Amino acid sequence: MSATGVPAFVLRDLGFKIAADQAGADVLVNTTGSKASIEAGKPFIAYGRSAMSTLKGTGLLPGFDFATTGSTHEGLIKAVLNQDSVITAPYQGNDYLYTQSGSYIKSVPEGAEILASASSAEDFFIAGWWPGHEVVKGKVMGFKLADKALNVTVFAGELTNKAHPQAQFRLLANAIYAAAPAAAAASMDDGNGEMPTSSSTPWTPAPTVTPAPVPSATPSATPAPSPSVQPSASPTPAPAHSFRDLDSVSSWAGDAIAELYAKGIIKGLDENSFGPKKEVTRAEFLTMLVRALNLPSGSASLSFGDVNRNAWYYDAVAAAVQAGIVKGTGDGKFEPGRAITREEMAIMAANALKLAGGIAAADASAALAAYKDSGKIASYAKPSVALLSEKGILTGTGNGGFEPKGKANRAQAAVIISRLLHVS
């Protein structure tokens, strides 16, 4: 197999061998920079929003299209699974599927075999935080295309999100077995065909010895009951925010802000204001990142001359330094109050992502070529920008550029951290 990050972690745990590179793999799983290999017929399995986006971008599957209600939308749904496919037949015909990016397949290539669809029942949505889930009812959630030229399997949901949805690991394993080249007959060991015989003498457990009764001791006085402890009140769920200044960013950042606020990762400027266009400082972004990753308080003693031990962000900076997410800016400084640049934000986010598996961009040159101003990205920041771009965490500024030296704002920071939490 060829895979990185969480998919590689899960596949190793399932007993699959991860190849050192794509050329040495029989099957590619959620890899990037794989167009030539897919075109040459190497089996490719894609699942989740980011992988589908990568696959669609190759242009190898005319007629394939998908949509996402929101990159942080998560839910469990009733689904109909194909009972004639070795990939999905081990499940019930009416079973369940999970997603954490609100994605579904709008159309499939000609000749594709439908593997799974969302149920058309009115109660198809079971649970989760999935605004707009109604549009997914009856939509395709997985397909396989195997013709003379291509061997591609696609699932809309994240089968290995944070290595949690284990009920779907079999979908991935089955897809791999269905796609992998058949083993040579000489390499198989099916035994000699004989059934093992049982022992002629059945095993009989030895009788247990009943212990002699022990005289009971004289009972002591029953102690007076201690006062019962009053149960504490159940914690109140985090309320939805009441920010009134999100209209200008709601279409692309609204869901991320709502999610991170509910999880206690971000806060507003006050009860009704979030300040989405306000520049975010290095200390603020790092604090959001540490909260999102739930990093333990750092024990490292910071030597930055501009980070006061009593500063509100001291523990977050210490935790991030200890985890290897961030370093200073030189001359013994950290510059906590300076607005963070987009390339600095990319470096911190990429370092956080690498904590999960030490991954790197499969094709950094191709990822950076998507930005017309890639030449302005600092050399030390290019690997981070390339990695996050391949993973769909960074998408540029909308005008074909990345603006590496531009100042990041609070809305952009929220989107980056939300996507980081949900990357597969």
- Four-residue CA torsion sign, 148, 149, 150, 151: positive
Res 198: pLDDT: 44
Res 45: pLDDT: 96
Question: In sequence order, what DSSP letters do the residues of 65-96 get, joined into one string?
Answer: EEEES-TT-EEEEEEEE-TTSTTTTTS-SEEE
pLDDT tier at 96, thresholds 50, 70, 90: very high
Burial class of residue 354, CB neighbours in 10 A (0-12, 13-18, 19+): middle
Name residue 333's beta-bridge partners: 330
Nearest to 386 by CA among 410, 405, 407, 402: 402
| Lowest mean pLDDT, pick from 13-27, 29-43, 224-238, 380-394 | 224-238
Res 283: pLDDT: 93
The tens digit of pLDDT for each residue in 274-300 reads 999 999 999 999 999 999 888 877 566
Res 224: pLDDT: 45
**Percent of the chain at pLDDT above 70?**
83
Residue listed under structure tokens 């998507």: 370
- Domain residue ranges in the chain: 5-181, 250-422
Res 187: pLDDT: 43
Cβ atoms of 272 and 261 closer than 8 Å: no
Q: How high does pLDDT run on average in the chain?
A: 83
Cβ atoms of 22 and 28 closer than 8 Å: yes
Question: Burial letters for 167-195: b for 16+ Cβ neighbours within 10 Å, e otherwise?
Answer: ebbebbbbbbebbeeeeeeeeeeeeeeee
Res 129: pLDDT: 87
| Lowest mean pLDDT, pick from 74-88, 218-232, 345-359 | 218-232
pLDDT tier at 200, thresholds 50, 70, 90: very low
pLDDT tier at 54, thresholds 50, 70, 90: confident
Average pLDDT over residues 64-83: 89
5-181: CATH number = 3.40.50.880
Whether residue 184 is predicted with pLDDT greater than 70 in this model: the reply is: no
The residue that leads in pLDDT, 371 or 193, is 371
Res 407: pLDDT: 94
The residue that leads in pLDDT, 230 or 302, is 302
Cβ atoms of 282 and 338 closer than 8 Å: yes
Average pLDDT over residues 225-233: 41
For helices 282-293 and 410-422, the axis angle rounded to 10 degrees is 20
pTM above 0.85, yes or no: no
Cβ atoms of 348 and 367 closer than 8 Å: no
Residues 6+ apart with CB under 8 A from 128: 73, 74, 75, 76
Average pLDDT over residues 337-347: 94
Res 10: pLDDT: 87
- β-strand 44-47 against 28-29: which pairing, if any? parallel
Whether residue 208 is predicted with pLDDT greater than 50 in this model: the reply is: no
pLDDT tier at 137, thresholds 50, 70, 90: very high
